[in-house]
Amino acid sequence: MKIMWTFLTILLLTNLLFWMTTLISKKSKMSREKNTPFECGFNSFSSPRKSFSTHFFLVATIFLIFDVEISIILPMYNTKMSLMKEWMFSTIIVLNILILGLFHEWKNGMLEWSK
């Protein structure tokens, strides 16, 4: 019974704090000037709803994927595998996957910046 009362008290306090912060943090005056994006004290030079370059996103994603794969390769050189053949086999597999992925992206034109 004590656990239930403790749980209910904690639940009540968290809900009370949540509602208090939402009431306190409300903006009292909404104006056009406050709702516009701030760019170093100047008015906006272009629309903030400008379309995003999907190609830039794909290149950034490819970079992140290869960056993570490099972080997988680097510990291979520092591990103490029992056999040299085992180490060489696992390294060749990882490098082949990387090279095949690079060729696939190259073949599909994902690495071309201007189209």
Query: Is the whole-model pTM more than 0.75?
Result: no
- CA-wise closest residue to 37 among 29, 25, 45: 45
Instruction: Write the pLDDT tens digit of every residue in 79-93.
Output: 666 677 777 887 788
Instruction: Write the pLDDT tens digit of every residue in 14-56.
Output: 999 999 888 887 665 666 666 666 666 666 666 666 677 777 7
- CA-wise closest residue to 101 among 68, 65, 77: 65
* Residue 95, both tokens: 């490098």
Question: How many angstroms separate the first and last alpha carbons of the chain?
Answer: 69
Asked if residue 94 lies in contact with residue 74, where contact means CB atoms within 8 angstroms, the answer is no
- Decide which of 21 and 8 is more confident: 8
